[in-house]
Amino acid sequence: MRTGFYLHSILILLIFLSLSISTALPVMSGEEKKSQIYSTLSSDLLQLLDKSYCPAGQSPEDIILGMESNGQIKRDNSGIWSVHVMVELEDGRISIDILPFLTQVAEDTSYHIISGWVTSENLTALGAKDGIRSIIPVFPPAGSGSFEIITNNTTPDSTSGATPDSTSVKTRDREWKTKLSTDLLQLVDDQYLSPGQSRADSMALMEKTGEVRIQGEEVEVRILAKTRDSSPLTKIESFFSETSQDSDYGRIGGWISVSNITRLAMQENIISLMVQIPPRTSEVTTEGDYILETRNLRNQTGISGEGICVGVISDGVDGLEDMIAAGELPSVKVLSDKVGGDEGTAMLQIIHDIAPNATLIFHDRGESQIEYVKALDQLIIHGCRIICDDITYVEPFFEDGYISQNINDRVLSYRILSITAAGNFAEEHYQAPFSGYEDQGYKWQMFNGSKGKDMYFTVPPGISGHVILQWDDRFGASSNNYDLFLYDDSGREIARSVNLQDGDDDPMEWVRFLNHGSSKKEYSIRVVQAAADDALLEIYVLPLSGRSIEVSPNTPEDSVFGQQTVTNALTVGAVAPDLKRLKIQDYSSIGPVTIRYPVPEQRKKPDLVAPDHITVLTGNMQQAVFTGTSAAAPHIAGLAALIWSANPSLREDEIREILINGTTKNETGKKWNPDIGYGLPSGENFCSLDNFSVNSSVSASSVVCTFKPRNYENAENITLNPGWNMISIPYPLEEGNTTGQLFENMSTDTHSIWRYDAEKRLWNPVKPFEQLEQMDVIWVYSPEKLDLIFPFDNSGVNQTFKELHTGWNPAGVPGRESITAGELLSPLSDAWTTILVYDSSTQSFRPSIINGGSGTYSKNRLLYPAEGWWVYMNRPGILFPV
């Protein structure tokens, strides 16, 4: 470290001493354009537009109905539908002509992906645009927990006497009805009432509980409305007879006539309406506080989580205000709560029970992978040292996907402790090499389960979800073509996914299911080898609800995927709340995890386990049993907050190690086990640790990183911060764009623009007429924050390489996507030793990236386009475009 510091200091001294002195494309024919559209859109999106792509006996309306039930399609008040899509652009393409087709857009230009809602008319036009690699629907994330309401009666078996979930009814309703809670729906539409119940019965019951009142001839109900942040509340005040409101949080509550509920829900700025339930006090402490012995740990050491900020990413925090009023939760900073639900509320309760003085911050998961990563960054910006989530988006099964790469980078760069629920997929998962049997001239996967050649699963009434098939090709490079089919219990095909994989595609197919009947329904799955070599197949059946679905045959092993597989994260499985016997829950995902790219490995996940089936309060202040790994993960987050508050100077990797070393003994000692990981931590194992110091003089704020996650900016639109900025040219510029043209409209406060010649080890001022090339790095001074636009040559034919010389070299990412340092510099092997990234927002260098380093210094950290950095070379090498 002394050598690194010396080089670092010399480098800074050298820098500041020196600084002080389109081709037009031919027009396509109609058939060519149609062919382009159909090659860009996924199989199910084609089914929305063209009946010939639908399964036998189905129409586009049937497909729309299924996607609407899964939340992938929504309708406006006139019935026009829009679908939520993810658009992947080709290398070198920009989004400027794509964005007008989408609404509610989220974009990450580093990865060339955009998500948003597109109408049926715009979907066709969008598919015809040049420069698009693929368009697929956004998959809703899989849940990792569920609630079972506690009543005075015995809970009925979920397999008998069940009634349809409201999901089956929502598919026939306009969008406004999805904004209403069930009890409000029962006041405006008889079809939502329980059998034998009338609207008068429902109103009478709500009057008894204080939520309905009679005002003359009007029946009024007390509700809470959530509105979009930018919407003035004054526009909807007229619907209420009495109101209270909080414009900062976009909430308005009060009494409203039942006849006004429908009109209010139809307002575009309304997110949701629910009955405002009177608060009541009912103190509930998670049983996990006893099981983990964390109560004894607090009593014996005096630690309480004080000074540690814990962030939670989940669905929503419904009922949070009532929880705070009832004393169940302290003040919680809510950064975003647009998704809805109360699983986040339950997770916060568990963390607070275990670490009562920890600071709590919440951000919802968003509606896409892009929004999830932005939520992660917002929590980091607001000071969270621990981030706990229970969200699983569909990502690559055999490699790190978009979320995984970003979580790994945030752990390494910002020293956060990432704690994530392992998932409840053990019984919903299948994995095996392709082994085919012949039928009608095709080879089909021989599942060889108890029911025959095919795979089967049973769906409770009112439940919808997805079947996801992947195989072990690399994403974006699959030439093995498999197809997926779904059949109902009569053997009729009801869904198919026949995306073409011909060398540059993702190895993935998917279909969706919806049981809109009143009883269980069985489905079967078939996989055909359309044109492929034998591959390792992996299938998940993912219901949208927290209820588990058992697949036959299933493979509990290797049932962890997504960010839960990140090596540097703590992945938590669920065990039964029984101290006498450590038993993994049947649904809790287990390992090891098979990774194929960039190198084959078996990752040891989960890391730890914690109890579920614990008591919490739901958003309507009812006691409920919280099950699943969603309930397990926050126990570990609370325990981590306790440990870190004892010694805030510890690093996140040290906290991770302490938690693993503090597990109870299991059959294999401290060795890792595929189902329980390293075991269940116990608070009594931490009371005597030497590296705990309750009276530590080191404050948490002194060890938190001073730099923040980058903004999501386009590679061609770079933000300059006040002071010196080290920027690189990630892509060739359009011919004729000189330095003078790029910087002519900005003030450099009389400072010269500088470039370093690594071969001659000299600083040179950049002349106004010079043409900057790809991977050129310049230092430019800006007295204020402003945007700098790079006009790129998008032909892709003028890319260049960069010679690296022995010693320090300025460099940047030679492309328009983020990439890890290890992957970018892998062709250089051991020729490089250290990378120093200059952070213009803090006017300082970030921690070094070291070839062979670990933790914060790992080469698995991301490098971003247009961000300049220094690389030290032991010998000469060449950096090629990516």
Q: What is the DSSP letter of 399?
A: S
- Mean pLDDT value across residues 798-824: 90
pLDDT at 700 over 80: no
pLDDT at 698 over 60: no
pLDDT at 210: 61
pLDDT at 164 over 70: no
pLDDT band at 260 (very low <50, low <70, confident <90, very high): confident
CB-based contacts of 734, cutoff 8 Å, min separation 6: 791, 792, 793
Q: Which helix (H) or strand (E) holds 851?
A: none
Can you read off the two tokens belonging to residue 613? 């089936």
Q: Which residue has the higher pLDDT, 522 or 703?
A: 522
pLDDT at 155 over 70: no
- Mean pLDDT value across residues 75-102: 86
Categorise residue 528: left if φ over 0, alpha if ψ from -120 to 50, beta otherwise. beta
Can you read off the two tokens belonging to residue 766? 């950049």
- Its CATH class, for the domain covering 426-558, is mainly beta
pLDDT band at 495 (very low <50, low <70, confident <90, very high): confident
pLDDT band at 287 (very low <50, low <70, confident <90, very high): low
pLDDT at 595: 96
d(CA 573, CA 680): 10
Q: What is the DSSP letter of 734?
A: P
Determine the 3-state secondary structure of 621 from DSSP.
Answer: coil
Which of 514-523, 545-554, 569-578 has the weakest average pLDDT? 545-554
Closest by Cα among 816, 825, 830, 808 to 865: 816
pLDDT at 670: 65
Q: Are the C-beta atoms of residues 604 and 677 closer than 8 Å to each other?
A: yes
Q: What is the DSSP string of 865-879?
A: TTB-EEEEESS-EEE
CA 244 to chain centre: 34
Categorise residue 613: left if φ over 0, alpha if ψ from -120 to 50, beta otherwise. left
pLDDT at 695 over 80: no
Q: What percent of the chain has pLDDT over 90?
A: 38
pLDDT at 832 over 70: yes
pLDDT at 193: 63
- In this prediction the pTM is 0.71
pLDDT in tens, 767-798: 888 888 888 999 999 999 988 888 888 777 78
pLDDT at 261: 87
Q: Are the C-beta atoms of residues 703 and 414 closer than 8 Å to each other?
A: no
Q: What is the DSSP string of 495-526?
A: EEE----SSSB-SEEEEEEE--SSS-EEEEEE
Q: What percent of the chain has pLDDT over 70?
A: 82
Q: Are the C-beta atoms of residues 131 and 93 closer than 8 Å to each other?
A: yes
Q: Are the C-beta atoms of residues 811 and 869 closer than 8 Å to each other?
A: yes
pLDDT band at 149 (very low <50, low <70, confident <90, very high): low
pLDDT at 709: 72
d(CA 360, CA 447): 46
pLDDT at 8 over 60: no
Q: Which residue has the higher pLDDT, 687 or 6?
A: 687
- Mean pLDDT value across residues 354-371: 91
- Mean pLDDT value across residues 239-268: 75
pLDDT at 231 over 60: no
d(CA 1, CA 6): 9
pLDDT at 358: 95
**Residue-wise over 842-873: b if at least 16 C-beta within 10 A, else e?**
eeebbbbbbbebebbbbbbbbbbbbbbbbbbb
pLDDT at 689: 52
pLDDT at 168 over 50: no
Which of 218-227, 235-244, 664-673, 817-826 has the weakest average pLDDT? 664-673
Q: Which residue has the higher pLDDT, 18 or 542?
A: 542
pLDDT at 26 over 70: no
- Mean pLDDT value across residues 376-380: 94
pLDDT at 10 over 50: no
pLDDT at 15: 41
pLDDT in tens, 588-640: 999 999 999 988 999 999 999 999 888 887 766 778 788 889 999 999 999 99
pLDDT at 797: 79
pLDDT in tens, 576-589: 877 677 889 999 99
Residue intervals of the chain classified under CATH 2.60.120.380 are 426-558
pLDDT at 378: 93
List phi, psi (to 5°) of 743: -115, 10
Q: Are the C-beta atoms of residues 481 and 501 closer than 8 Å to each other?
A: yes
pLDDT at 552 over 80: yes
Q: What is the DSSP letter of 267?
A: S
CA angle centred on 639, ends 658 and 571, rounded to 5°: 70
pLDDT in tens, 857-877: 888 888 888 889 999 999 999
Q: 259 vs 173, 216, 235, 256, CA distance in Å?
A: 18, 14, 18, 8
Residue intervals of the chain classified under CATH 3.40.50.200 are 288-424+566-693
pLDDT at 18: 40
- Its CATH class, for the domain covering 288-424+566-693, is alpha beta
Closest by Cα among 629, 21, 658 to 303: 658
pLDDT in tens, 41-69: 998 899 998 888 888 778 888 888 888 87
pLDDT at 436: 92
pLDDT band at 749 (very low <50, low <70, confident <90, very high): confident
d(CA 750, CA 732): 28
Q: Which residue has the higher pLDDT, 189 or 750?
A: 750
Closest by Cα among 259, 228, 260, 225 to 245: 225
Mean pLDDT taken over the chain = 82
Helix boundaries (H) for 599-671: 629-646, 652-661
The segment with the largest mean pLDDT, out of 92-101, 235-244, 419-428, is: 419-428
Closest by Cα among 319, 370, 373 to 343: 319
pLDDT at 118 over 90: yes
- Mean pLDDT value across residues 415-438: 94
pLDDT at 72 over 70: yes
Segments of 77-179 assigned E as strands:
81-89, 103-108, 113-119, 132-137, 146-149
Q: 665 vs 590, 656, 660, 668, CA distance in Å?
A: 19, 17, 11, 8
Q: Which residue has the higher pLDDT, 617 or 114?
A: 114
The segment with the largest mean pLDDT, out of 210-219, 428-437, 486-495, 855-864, is: 428-437
pLDDT at 22: 32
Can you read off the two tokens belonging to residue 808? 């320090």
- Mean pLDDT value across residues 245-250: 52
pLDDT in tens, 322-335: 889 888 899 999 99
Q: Which residues pair with 311 in a beta bridge?
A: 361, 387
- Mean pLDDT value across residues 687-708: 49
Give the torsion sign (CA, 708, 711, 716, 721). Answer: negative
pLDDT band at 286 (very low <50, low <70, confident <90, very high): low
Amino acid at 149: I
Q: Which residues pair with 832 in a beta bridge?
A: 873
Cis, peptide link before residue 553, omega less than 30° from 0: yes
